[in-house]
């Protein structure tokens, strides 16, 4: 009986608090384990190789009316399953092509920001506190409160951590319409460059018969370089603005 009591106490005092504190990681691990088990079972039941399974999935996404919706739905789950947005974006370009892929990924990427924004807003209070120590976070919080649209747009353009920006905007209760419009506009250049990278890969990648389209790859590279240059200029300008504002407040 003692070991049963100890086990219950361990679950209550150690295990459940840990799961609660790391719920996103736990959800992601369970999701990927379930997906791997389902995939292996399906491959064994239908005598498929991994390359054949990949080809089937690609055919479903490309050839059916609900394929783009399925892709967007998976992208929306990205913050919960901890899948890199960059890989999903490149995959969208490879599967759908440059311009259809750009449209689908732009919609999916913008909407995927809603989940961390909603989490941040849900767990925030009406009067969120501002860090008292001088830091970049404090400066960005001040900027978000002064001009939320411009602040979110700049944060997207200078490639700050995507979900962290959404969480911060939600916790500060930035108006949703302002947040989503700035996010969509800020996603344009990055989405086009990474989708172009995926679209430059032509042929059957799963079978090892892929080729590179140099013109599409060059286009993607030019957009990426231009977006990096613009983001660096904006970053320097914003740093100067934040420093000036701090000096005026002092």
Kindly list the domain boundaries of the chain, sorted by start residue. Answer: 1-47, 67-249
187 C-beta neighbours (distance < 10 Å), count: 23
Cα Dmax for the chain: 72
Residue 229 has a pLDDT of 86
3-state DSSP call for residue 64?
A: coil
Among 20-34, 102-116, 195-209, where is mean pLDDT lowest? 20-34
Could you give the angle at the alpha carbon of 233 between the alpha carbons of 107 and 139, nearest 5°? 80
Query: Model-level pTM?
Result: 0.80
3-state secondary structure of 84: coil
Query: 250 pLDDT exceeds 60?
Result: no
């Amino acid at each position: 009986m003692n070991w049963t009591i100890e086990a219950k106490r361990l679950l209550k005092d150690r295990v459940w608090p840990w799961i609660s504190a790391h719920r996103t990681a736990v959800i992601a691990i369970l999701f990927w384990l379930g997906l791997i088990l389902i995939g292996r079972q399906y491959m064994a039941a239908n005598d498929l190789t991994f390359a054949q399974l990949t080809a089937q999935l690609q055919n479903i996404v490309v050839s059916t009316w609900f394929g783009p919706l399925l892709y967007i739905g998976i992208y929306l789950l990205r913050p919960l399953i901890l899948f890199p947005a960059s890989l999903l974006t490149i995959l969208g370009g490879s599967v759908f092509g440059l311009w259809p892929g750009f449209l689908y990924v732009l919609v999916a990427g913008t909407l995927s920001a809603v989940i961390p924004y909603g989490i941040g807003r849900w767990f925030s209070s009406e009067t969120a506190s501002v860090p008292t120590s001088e830091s970049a976070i404090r400066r960005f919080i001040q900027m978000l409160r002064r001009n939320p649209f411009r602040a979110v747009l700049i944060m997207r353009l200078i490639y700050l951590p995507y979900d962290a920006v959404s969480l911060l905007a939600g916790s500060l209760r930035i108006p949703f319409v302002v947040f989503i419009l700035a996010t969509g506009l800020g996603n344009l250049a990055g989405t086009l460059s990474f989708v172009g990278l995926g679209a430059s890969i032509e042929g059957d990648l799963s079978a090892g018969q892929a080729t590179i389209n140099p013109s599409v790859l060059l286009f993607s590279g030019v957009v990426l370089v231009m977006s990096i240059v613009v983001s660096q200029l904006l970053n320097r300008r914003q740093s100067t603005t934040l420093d000036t504002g701090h000096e005026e407040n002092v």
